[in-house]
Homo-oligomer: A and B are copies of this chain.
Amino acid sequence: MTPTPESLSPAQAREAFRTGLRAPTSGYAPGFAQANVLALPKDLAFDMLLFAQRNPKPCPVLGVLEPVQVTSGLLAGGDIRTDVPAYRVYRDGELVAEPDDVLGHWRDDLVTFLLGCSFTFETPLRRAGVPVRHLDLGVNVPMYRTARRCAPAGSLSGPLVVSMRPIPAHQVADAVRITSRYPGVHGAPVHVGNPAALEIEDLDSPDFGDAVDVPDGWIPVFWACGVTPQAAVMESKPELAISHSPGHMLVTDLPDAELQVP
């Protein structure tokens, strides 16, 4: 019997990606947190960590790998250079490659940031009967650049990027309540309702991901998005930056339950 994504442990999922599988990670190893990955030269690491400290909603830090370090308790027995299904390599702010591993691009001075991903709170939303529209439609979540600026830190500044999930009006309070219990994966919404207040001109034209409809009687709800730090880093054009490819996250050993606050 072929193992299904749902049946794999985090370590088994990482092994599959390490040995050549290239696939979006939605649905893999449910119950364990997935992470945004961003590796930067050490000389930008303080600015990035300070940016995260000042903007905790878009940049919840789950862990940091120091120079030379390529594994940690979040990916026990794994290797950050091989265990993500697909990577993006940027040089001077330009995307130059989208490889399956980054062994050939790695440098010992890279510091790797692992940031929470809202995939984690979609499971408890669905368990509580709150629909997650993009999953029901089988597409990627829509993401938008907003006019809201993040707090700058050192050389880093940029716009807040948000993800949008339409929610039935009578369940908006539930969606707020449930996601607020997961601050480590973006937490409560940053905005409920009118997209124009964020200067999002057209919900049907997301800047990243796929459009989804907002049915009658549903409200667009916006959460801070893990693309935010990448947008800030790209504005600063570092000589080298390595990230996961959107939707192709690191599957960690961190149980979702450990990210829940009372």
Contacts and interface: CB of A to CB of B under 8 A. Distances in A.
Contact of A49 (B50, B66, B261, B262): B50
Interface residues of A, number: 16
Interface string A176-195: 00001000000000000000
A261 B262 CA distance: 10
Interface in A47-83: 49-50, 53-54, 61, 64, 66
Interface string A5-34: 000000000000000000000000000000
Given A66-B154, A153-B66, A154-B66, A49 B42 contact: no
Interface of A: 42, 45-46, 49-50, 53-54, 61, 64, 66, 111, 153-154, 180, 261-262
Contacts of A66: 50, 153-154
Contacts of A262: 180
B53 A46 contact: no
Nearest to A53: B61
User: Interface centre among A53, A61, A261, by most B CB within 10 Å?
Assistant: A53
9 contacts: A49-B50, A49-B53, A50-B66, A53-B53, A53-B64, A54-B64, A66-B153, A180-B262, A261-B261
Contact of A50 (B64, B153, B154): B64
